[in-house]
Amino acid sequence: MAMLVLMVTMSGFSQVKNLHSFKVTAIDGSEFDLSSLKGKKVMVVNTASKCGLTPQYKILQELYDQYGGEKFEIIGFPANNFMNQEPGSNKEISSFCSSNYGVTFPMMSKISVKGNDIHPLYAWLTQKSQNGKLDADVTWNFQKFLIDENGNLVDFLKPADKPDDKKVLDWLKK
């Protein structure tokens, strides 16, 4: 009996997911396999077009222009979880991002980042029981999650923290 419990417990450890375990839907409706990001540091951020923090798109794009490429990626996930600040369709969001902020980093389809309908990726990002690192409820738009080259959650930044915060820049230069 003890051996069975040990085997079940050990099999649970082998099921730990990382970022590369997920497939999501890009804003254009195509599949985006996050395993394509192996070897890159990744910032995952929930976004909104009608938020006081929406100008962070500009900083995100500048960060992407400077560091994006072979070693770093930013992935934006529009979400309408906070005061209806992302009411648009995926097409409207895509147009808004490109025409107002020149966004070229990958944007995904609108999802839920909290609550009963939380997207599985965000359940992983926010729950220590799934990510093995920390609990970090999404408290507002533009919360940022930092993931290492192996797809493991490293840390997060609060929504008001700028994408080019010293913590992020130091992490990118490691």
What digits encode the pLDDT tens for the residues 101-116?
999 999 999 999 999 9
What digits encode the pLDDT tens for the residues 74-92?
999 999 999 999 999 999 9
Please indicate whether residue 51 is annotated as part of the active site: yes
Side-chain-facing half-sphere of 77: CA atoms under 13 Å: 26
What digits encode the pLDDT tens for the residues 36-67?
999 999 999 999 999 999 999 999 999 999 99
Residues 6+ apart with CB under 8 A from 129: none
Bridge-partner residues for 7, per DSSP?
none
Query: For the chain, which domains are there?
Result: 17-173 (3.40.30.10)
How far apart, in whole angstroms, are the C-alpha atoms of residue 137 and residue 158? 10
| Helical segments of 16-85, H only | 56-67
**Mean pLDDT taken over the chain:** 93
pLDDT of residue 5: 42
Give 84-115 as a DSSP string: T---S-HHHHHHHHHHHH---S-BBPPB--SS
Reply yes or no on whether the pLDDT at 9 is more than 60. Answer: no
pLDDT band, residue 12 (cuts 50/70/90)? very low
Of the residues 26, 51, 53, 134, only one is catalytic, namely 51
